[in-house]
């Protein structure tokens, strides 16, 4: 879980920029546009887009700088990065026996373990949701 630091913090913009914030990057292919979208997971509304992946690094650093400078000027709290150790990579899911059976059967048909099958299925679902969110955000700013 991340914590936040008040805008009255003694940390400078440069101090915040050195922190390992989570950068979420999505390939953006919609409405005839092909490019890249990036956002900082812990800083609400801190996002950018670029035509090429190579441009994205500088663009997201500029967006972080602007977001942090604005928050400091306004006395807003600035969230700190999430700690990697906050996520073990394991969790327990309760599901109906019938769904468990379907998942096992499908994994067997695909020739993979249940763990691998569920991991891929969840990753694909999250990817679709991120793409939807990216498209909605871009549409809102158009």
- For the residues of 41-85, what is the DSSP string, one character each? TTSTT-EEEESSHHHHHHHHHHHHHHHHHHHHHHT--EEPPPPGG
Supply the range of the domain harboring residue 125: 88-142
What is the per-residue pLDDT across 47-84, written as a single tens digit (0 to 9) for each?
Answer: 999 988 888 889 999 999 999 999 999 999 999 998 76
1 — pLDDT class (breaks 50, 70, 90)? very low
Residues 70 and 131 in one domain: no
Nearest one of 117, 27, 30 to 38, comparing CA atoms = 27
The radius of gyration of the chain's CA atoms, rounded to the nearest angstrom, is 19
What is the per-residue pLDDT across 8-38, written as a single tens digit (0 to 9) for each?
Answer: 558 999 999 999 999 998 888 877 778 888 9
Residues 93 and 74 in one domain: no
Average pLDDT, the chain: 85
Q: Does residue 138 carry a pLDDT above 70?
A: no
Residues 22 and 2 in one domain: yes
Rounded Cα–Cα distance for residues 137 and 142 (Å): 9
Structure tokens at 9: 């913090």
8 Å CB contact between 133 and 39:
no
Q: Where residue 38 sits, what CATH number does that domain have?
A: 3.30.160
Q: Where residue 128 sits, what CATH number does that domain have?
A: 1.10.1220
Report the predicted TM-score, pTM, of the whole model to 2 decimal places.
0.56
How many percent of the chain have pLDDT more than 90?
A: 46
Residues 44 and 97 in one domain: no
8 Å CB contact between 61 and 48:
no
What is the total count of domains within the chain?
2
Question: Which of 38, 64, 85 is the C-terminal boundary of a domain?
Answer: 85
Question: Which of 62, 85, 108 is the C-terminal boundary of a domain?
Answer: 85
Instruction: Give the position of tokens 């979420």.
Output: 24
Instruction: Give the position of tokens 């292919």.
Output: 29
- C-alpha 99: how far from its chain's center? 28
- C-alpha 142: how far from its chain's center? 21
Over residues 117-131, the mean pLDDT reads 86
């Amino acid at each position: 879980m991340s914590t936040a630091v008040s805008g009255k913090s003694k940390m400078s913009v440069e101090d915040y920029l050195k922190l390992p914030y989570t950068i979420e990057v999505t390939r953006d292919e919609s409405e005839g546009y092909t490019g890249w979208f990036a956002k900082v997971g812990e800083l609400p509304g801190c996002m950018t887009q670029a035509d090429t992946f190579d441009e994205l690094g500088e663009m997201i650093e500029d967006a972080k700088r602007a977001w942090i400078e604005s928050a400091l000027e306004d006395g807003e709290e600035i969230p700190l990065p999430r700690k990697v150790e906050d996520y073990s990579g394991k969790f327990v899911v309760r599901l109906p026996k019938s769904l468990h059976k379907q998942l096992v059967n499908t994994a067997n048909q695909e020739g993979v373990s249940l763990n691998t099958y569920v991991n891929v299925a969840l990753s694909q679902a999250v990817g679709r949701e991120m793409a939807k969110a990216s498209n909605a955000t871009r549409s809102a700013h158009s």
